[in-house]
Structure 1
Amino acid sequence: MAWIGFFIGLAVAWVCADIFGPEAGLVVLGALVGMLLARLYRRVGRLEAELAQLRAGALLAEVQSTPVPAPVAAPPAATAPAVPPSQAPGVKEGLAPAAAAVIPAPVPPGPAAAPPAPSPPAAASEVDEQSHRITASLGRSVLAWFRGGNAIVRIGVLILFLGVAFLLRYAAEHALLPVELRIAGVAAGGVVLAGLGWRLRERRRGYGLTLQGAGVGILYLTIFAAFRLYGLVPAGLAFALLVALSAVAALLAVAQQALPLAVLGFAGGFLAPVFASTGEGSHVALFGYFLVLNLAIAWIASRQAWKLLNLVGFFFTFSIATVWGLRSWQPEHFTTTEPFLVAHFLLYLYISVQYSRQLVTAPEARGLPYVDGGLLFGLPVVAFGLQAALVRDMPYALAISSAVLSAVYLLLGRWLWRRSGQQLRLLVEGLFALGVIFLLLVTPLALDARWTGAAWAAQGAGIVWVGLRQGRLWPAALGVLLQCIAAVVYWEHHVRPAEAVPFLNAALLSALLLGGSAWVTARLLRQQADAAGQDAPAWNRLPRPAWQALHGFMLAVGLLQLLAGWGEELEAADWPALALSVRLALLLLAFALLHEVLHRRLAWPELRLPARLLWGAAAAVSLIGMTGVLFSVSLQWQRYVHEAVWFEVLAVLACGLWLLRRLQGPTWLHRATGVEHGALAWYAMLHGAVLLYAATGTLIGRHQAWTALAPIVLPTAVAWWVLHRTAWAAWPADRHATALRRTVLLPWMGVLLLWTALVNRYAAAGMAPLPYVPLVNPVDLGHALALLYGVRLWMVCHGRQARWGKPLLVLALAAAFWWLNALLVRSLHHWAGTPMWDHGALRDDLVQMSLTILWTVTALVLMLVATRRAAPARARSVWVAGAVLLAAVVLKLFFVDLSHLGTLQRIVSFLGVGLLMLVIGYVAPLPPAAPSREPQA
């Protein structure tokens, strides 16, 4: 692996020299050479240590084979003195102590035992570059090329080849030597290198193959330079020479089973026109030359499963063709480029099939993935993209191309199935998948002849499928990345044509392909997550959470693209009866129901989570649409009646109830939370409030009392139902009673208290032409409803929410006192013509006098209840509250009534308060203190 870094470092030094000058390049190059020398120094040290170990082992074998004379008399074993290692018989002078330490002591004569053979030194094993396990893997092929044979020679050959190319270009620009001499010298050098490599093929295989590849590449470069740069040979002769050289390189590579030779030779052949190019030339000659090279690669592919060679040819062919197209393509070049594109596509399709057939028929390749997923699925992506660029100005041409490709893949898959059956099942499945994908593309491309990212996404899903089937992570990662890029490219440049037919156009079908491909990928990744674990194969050691995260990501990507496609169509549809928010909410509900239904059919439990999120999004969209005209009663009623919002509300409620009823499983994925139940209840309560308020405000607008009551009727009914279910521990309160109390029941009590404060402040409770009757008008009936709800809530939740009980009780008593004051002011307003709060009620003498009497009566009642009815623990608190209110009355008499009220009202106030205080002093004296809670001693 270090040689790869060194070679990359050379390129970095080159770039630094080009950008920052030769000094920077020399600095970088010197650092790299120093690193290389240090590595070589360490390697020499290891080799010397191994040599010393080898010599010590040989010396040990020699000592053990020396005969030992029989001793005259051996001392008893118990009294035999220890012999120092340095005096042991048979130990030679100068023997290293390490070697002497391992020499066994002499043994008595007995049956001869064969001395143990010395263990050979551990040496680095040579990489078998002919093995299918090497040639069928891109990464292993590259590593084997750098680690096998002499890596320095191989890197040096690449640098030499680049130097020759630049030398030819420099000589052409400066005319240093006669053209014939330069060409002949370079060609002779290539022949010498190839011949020397052939001579050394038996003794030094790696070295010889490297030299042969370098020679072949230099000859490629020489022939092309002689033809294109100097015009020394005619086109026919140059073409014949290139054909002959390609044939020689292919024969040499196949005869010696040498993948590095093939890669070097063909890489040089493809790079020859690049380095020797002048920018002026015939694209026909270039593509014809590439066609010759690819024919040679195809011939080799029919005999060897060399994935790296296939990739080299594919990469150089289509990348150079793409660069040429970006720079020089003109519509008049179509007839001279389309045949080459078709020919190269068919060649590499043939190579894909031959690769699989080679691995399937090789016994030593069992267990290896026999489908080159990158080439199989990358070929249509690249070729179809180039085809889209060629025919972009021709109507229906791309749709016809897609149909032709579909027919090619389907027919080829059927032919291979009939010929090979199960033997090539995975390849046949891939071909059929591509055929179906291109068949699906025919319609959107016919309706809108533009190349989009839909095909990339579909083929990316195919790459993921093949990669996971073969146990390869990098193709799966490449497929996921390709789909992400396709999504970004498609949606960044996507503009829906205004004239497109809703729900029958290329934009929607492309979005469906994008989203469907992401869903298929998510499904495959989910299956892989199930297989992940300790017993998984070596390639599938990714932790289960990583697979699950990828699965969730692709599921979200697919869902968003499907929603975007359908949402765009719903927005463009001319449906005045359905508001845009209604359409979007219904779309989200449809997808939520689809996910919930599919999770059982497909055994895909993770679909339940997006179903719940989609329902929440639909409810949010519905509420947001309502807020736009929240304060306009007529517009709200118009939305419900004329824009089908009532249908949206019923659909959201029905879907929510159905989902939550089904979500009662044991785990979080299959069990709804209390927050979700609370959200459904609040959705029903908010829409119920707005709907009834809009109806009363529009239909009986003159009855202000009904309009003020309307917002709390239906929500209180819903909260009462939830409260009833909580009391009986029935669904949904059987599992979420605490959550419902905290999110629905108690908050709604707070809302009722707020309603009490507002309605008593602003509502006059008029019912014209009906007369006003206190306590039985709609506003007061609403207070009765709130009181009943509060009492019921206290009975059901008493003791379970102790920390909220006392504050709520205080707020309820304050609200009741405020209601009494408002009831008095409303009654005076309707019976005596006094103003309401906003119109100067506190400046009216009759209102002030009435309030004084009311406060005094209230204080009397409180103090009377404290002495007669209240529990001893609470009696003093209630009496003190009444006393405080009575003190407020006294202060009001002297600071307000005395100076601001008229004579009659002032008299009535003082007399009434005085009499009531006398009554209080008689019937409600100070109650006894609360009993002590301290235990008796």
Structure 2
Amino acid sequence: MLTLISTLLVVLSLYWLYQTYMNTNSLLYRLKKLEEHFQIQQDKIIELLKKEGKKDDINNQEAESSVGKTTASSQDEIKTPIFDIASTVIKENREKTKEITTSQVEHYAYDKQESYRAQEKTIPFVKESAEPIIGIQSNSHHVLADKPVSQVSSHHVAQHNEGKVIQKNKPTNQSAQVDTFKPVMPIIRKALIKSKPKKTHQQASIFELIWKWIITGNPLAKIGMLLLFFGLSYLLKYSIENDVISASTRLMMAGVGCFVLLGLGWWLQQKNRIYALILQGGGIGGLYITIFAATKIYDFIPITFAFIIMVLVCFTSILFAIIQRAISLAILASLGGYLAPILLSSGDGNYIALFSYYLILSIGILIISHWQVWRLLNLIGFVFTFGVGCLWAISHYQDVYYLPCQLFLIANWFIFGIATELLTLRKKIKRNIPLDATLLFGTPLIGFLFQYRLVSEWEFGVSVASSLYALIYFALSYVILKRYQTEGKLLAIAFWMLSVIFATLAVPFAFSSEWTSLVWAFEGVMILVFSLLQQQKKAALAGTLLIAISFILLMSTKFIQFDQWIMFVVEIIIIFATATLWFHGKIQNIDNKAIGFAALFVGVISWIYSLFILLENGDIWSVPQVRLIALAIILVSCWGMYYAGRAFTFFELSSCSVLIWPTSALVILIYLYETRSLIDSGWSALIWCAILVSGFYLLKFNTFLLHQRLKKPFIHGIHLSFIALFLFTETIGFNHLYDAQESLHFSAALFSINAFIILSYLLSYKVNWIKPYQDIYWMFAIPVSVILVLFLIWANMNSGTQMNIPFIPLLNPMDIMGITGGIIAYRFVMLLKQHEQYKINLQNYHYIINYGIPILLFWWGNGVLIRGVAFMSDIDWNMQQIIASKIIETLLAIVWTITALATMVIATRKTRRSQWFVGGVLLLCVIAKLFLIDMSLSSGLLRALAFIGVAIIILLIGYFSPLPPKKKVELSKKQE
């Protein structure tokens, strides 16, 4: 009965929606009414001008009979206001014909007023609504009667847009006569209807689209609707577990609530469109949940009939979204549909019903794409379909499920990977819509991972599947390029790239690593040769990268047998052939001396591989002598490249001496992992001193090197990074010597910070050849502020009573350290403001200063509050006790909510958009705490009521305190 009533209501609402839309809101209806109104106004103006023209003819004849003809010189002296205005219009129309265009196809944009410059003279016309533009033929000879201005009919001369009429000097002879001309015959010029210019959209990432969807419109209403959705779900679950309300009553209430949301949303669409669309989306999502619960939990509706109803609901959401052109409605409806089986899962493991349900939703999204290409909606369907499928396949997949899973995988791969892109291609031809790179490349790659899980049990199953993928995409590329030679070229290239990728992946699943490396190397050489012949830089780089990957893959094997060694020799030959091709390849904007970089690549890989040989026995790096040998190899190698490059004038090789810092940093990290100290013996101290001195000398050499490919500031940045890592490692080593007390940690950290700042100052101000790079040294002082922030975070994690010092609010070591850190940060910002360059940078990043400092103060205030409450309430200072304390959690929720509401209300009143976002983020923190903490401390009913209460509050805030609009800066130009 409930299903029948719901179906009838949906059908009636669709019929009413269709009739309302076609009768009142139809575009054709509005255009027809505008056209009728335009025809009526045109007929009135023509009839009126004809009457006035006859009067002008009579007046002209009377003037001609009484006075007679005059000479041409006397005609030039006649300068009535109307004659001057008409003459000016004729001259301007002869010089240039103005074309009136409209900005949108949906409306006849008839200009009611036209802005003119002060020096231009025009004939104004009657001011009426939807008034057509009337022009005068530039090649017609006419005259206006010599009347006083006061006698001129208002139908001829109307006031200017600003209420002024431009007049010239009055004629000197009032009795002057003019030649007889024909009366004015106006030409009605209709506004030309033009389509919108095509705009090129930049491809945005999925995170940018999600963030844009959240912040646009009314984000609070969206969040409130989602929270209300969760709250009702928890309330429904609680009622099920405790049998509070009968199943039929629950479903009836849910269905009525959904239709109430739909009706209320439709009623409010004229008053508050965004808010109304969110309500409609919530209602449609609730219908999904209701139907799913009635089918899977209570068995009130057969599965077949339930799928029919879901298809009807899906069609309804499609119709609502397309009619109103509302992506938010489509997104919220799809989110409710995808979340329905997750929130109300019965745990019976019926994967066929789940995937069939998701397949219906995917087909609905595909149908929407036929009329409206909404990228974010496609991404939501893609993420839910493959995400839920991946989670299910990891834990529940068995070999007996192969055929249904394979069919579902093929269907969804076709929908999101092929059909969606083909529909986008059709829209691209008409409206220049870009292709979705996430779906284009993400669907086949993730689908191939599923395919690997399905066919990995067979010997050559993965290789065969990859080959089939390659053949299918190659065929699609050929068909698209043949049918859409111009518009489909980009999609055809993408499909061709995918075919090459899957053909490449088919090799390692069928052959050993040695043969795979060899095949990839030959494939890379062929791509490189073809690219060089076609002068395609990117494709040549791709071929070189494939050769490099094959070389690394081959080097990862152990060369024990003779045939493996032969393969290694062949690989080396291919590497040198690659270098030769790059050296002789004549590609525009490519340096032919790139052979140096190819040789550099081989040398660096071989050098690093010689270091990794030391890892052959596993834990050999724990031996101090091995670490010293590695450092010695690094030092000798860098000096060897330096002298070899200078001896053979091969400066590209000499520039490789900058690698002394990153490779030494790698060994430092190994030291940090093993012993937490760099200097554990006299030999290690000697080698580290040699590395520091050598690094400083090689830094000077690379600074003056003309053929250095790396940017000079980047080289100095590597140098400073190495020094910072060295000091940081020694600080950690000092903290672990002799079980140092916690108070000494601050001393060691501050020593490292001060040493780094002093060293940066001495290098940038006392060394002449480093002075041009002072900026990079000053910019490396930014980690000081980061460390200070870490100190503040660390202070809030402590109770302030761990050092046997009585706890006094604001006077304990933690609070004193926070105050000191704030003073240092403030002085650092003041020091940067003294330099003009950094002052400009600080102005560009003023949001970080204006909002970062209040956020840190808010964080520090929370720490002071928690420490005070914990001390007064005798709560043990540990994370479990603080989280489990209802007093602290309630107090924090109250303080956060009040702060967020005050911030958002003030921001709405003062239209400060960024300040509103700050309050919104704080409100999101309250919601997150509600999910993660408060939800675990409360029962099922309290949890549901908390969600519903917070959702209602957020919905009210979204209605009364919405997101302030962006400020539009209007630039006005002075007219002279």
Provide the TM-score with structure 1 as the length reference.
0.41
The structure with the larger Rg is: 1
Provide the TM-score with structure 2 as the length reference.
0.39
Using CA pairs under 8 Å that are at least 6 residues apart, name the structure with larger relative contact order, 1 or 2: 2
